[in-house]
Homo-oligomer: A and B are copies of this chain.
Amino acid sequence: MALQNLRVVLVRPKRSGNIGAAARAMANMGVGDLALVAPPHALNRFHAGVMAVHARHVLERMRVYSTLAQSVADCGLVVGATCRRGPYRDGSRPLRDAAREVVEMVAANRVALVFGPEDHGLANDDLRVCHRLVTIPADSRYPSLNVAQAVLLCCYEIFLAAGAAADGGGGQAQERPLASSGAVELMYEKLRDAFLSVGFLHADNPEHIMFALRRIFGRSGLEERDVRILLGLARQIRWYADSGWKLRAEASAASETSGCGCSPGR
């Protein structure tokens, strides 16, 4: 089954019962890889097991991480589930469309579905790590789903889309290996440094524009060679900026030794 490359990540889950219910929902839809990020210290494995019923094997395989970035470091595609609107949540796609894309990617890539804590969903820092956002359609008067219910709907749509793809009805599942989340994060660091060095980003809030760029590249789905090109851009801008500083420093040294106190440029 192709869904062995699909990972469900619960970020800072609060209730052990929800973890078990999510494990059951995953098993119902043929998904077995569960990761927790910063779960409660008092994780009640008994209660989780009661809710998992016949999906305890999912709980036994479950891994625990301290950060979201670590939990998805080996993933080519990281999809964050959200039901809220707000800053940094634009460009979110409806679940059914996103499920088709996940199925296209999951044959050749590890794909993570990321869910936030029960009360507030994913925080802006979590969203930064996500390449795509998906919105679960729901009634606007009460759009906030229980986290295990959200896990179920996402896994269900992907399970169905995978079946449609296997039947030949779901379009051509394309083998397009994506860059790992770890490599992409490193690239964003280098781009941020480069853009800061030429004044494109403001030092007091570089993340605002970086969010927008993450969204653009996230929608695109970066392959390894794309990352190499963008790293090359970052390196060249950085080199250019550094050599500019050297020139400025030389110019200012020259003006100091020349006996003339006027400063060329700034």
User: A residues touching B (Cβ–Cβ < 8 Å)?
Assistant: 21, 24-25, 27-30, 51, 53-55, 91, 93-94, 96-97, 137-139, 141-146, 148-149, 152-153, 156, 159-160, 163, 171-172, 174, 176, 195, 198-200, 209, 212-213, 215-217, 219-223, 225-226, 229-230, 232-233, 236-237, 240-241, 243-244, 246-248, 250-251, 254-255, 258-260, 262-266
| Chain B residues with CB below 8 A from A53, complex form | 144, 146
Among B27, B221, B264, which residue has its beta carbon within 8 angstroms of that of A139? B27
- In the complex, how many angstroms separate the beta carbon of A19 from the nearest chain B beta carbon? 14
Specify which of A141, A144, A152, A159 lies most central, judged by the most chain B CB atoms within 10 Å of its CB: A152
| Chain B residues with CB below 8 A from A250, complex form | 251, 264-265
Chain B residue nearest to A139 (CB atoms) is B30
Taking a contact as CB atoms under 8 Å apart, the answer to whether B143 and A28 are in contact is yes
| Chain B residues with CB below 8 A from A28, complex form | 138-139, 142-145, 149
Contacts A54-B144, A163-B137, A247-B244 given; does A149 touch B216 at CB 8 Å: no
A153 to B154, CA, bound (A): 11
A25 to B247, CA, bound (A): 64
- In the complex, how many angstroms separate the beta carbon of A232 from the nearest chain B beta carbon? 7
Chain B residue nearest to A174 (CB atoms) is B94
Taking a contact as CB atoms under 8 Å apart, the answer to whether B259 and A149 are in contact is no
A265 to B33, CA, bound (A): 63
Taking a contact as CB atoms under 8 Å apart, the answer to whether A255 and B262 are in contact is yes
Contacts A139-B159, A259-B260, A265-B247 given; does A199 touch B240 at CB 8 Å: yes
A-B contacts, 8 of them at CB < 8 A, read: A21-B146, A21-B149, A24-B142, A29-B138, A97-B174, A145-B152, A251-B264, A263-B265
A266 to B263, CA, bound (A): 10
A60 to B64, CA, bound (A): 40
Taking a contact as CB atoms under 8 Å apart, the answer to whether B160 and A233 are in contact is no
| Chain B residues with CB below 8 A from A230, complex form | 216
Contacts A247-B248, A247-B251 given; does A216 touch B222 at CB 8 Å: yes
Among B94, B97, B143, B149, which residue has its beta carbon within 8 angstroms of that of A25? B149
Taking a contact as CB atoms under 8 Å apart, the answer to whether A29 and B139 are in contact is yes
Contacts A172-B94, A174-B94 given; does A226 touch B240 at CB 8 Å: no
- In the complex, how many angstroms separate the beta carbon of A74 from the nearest chain B beta carbon? 22
Q: A30-B141, A251-B251 are in contact. List 11 more A-B contacts (CB 8 A).
A: A21-B149, A24-B146, A91-B223, A94-B174, A137-B160, A200-B236, A209-B229, A216-B230, A219-B220, A247-B264, A265-B265
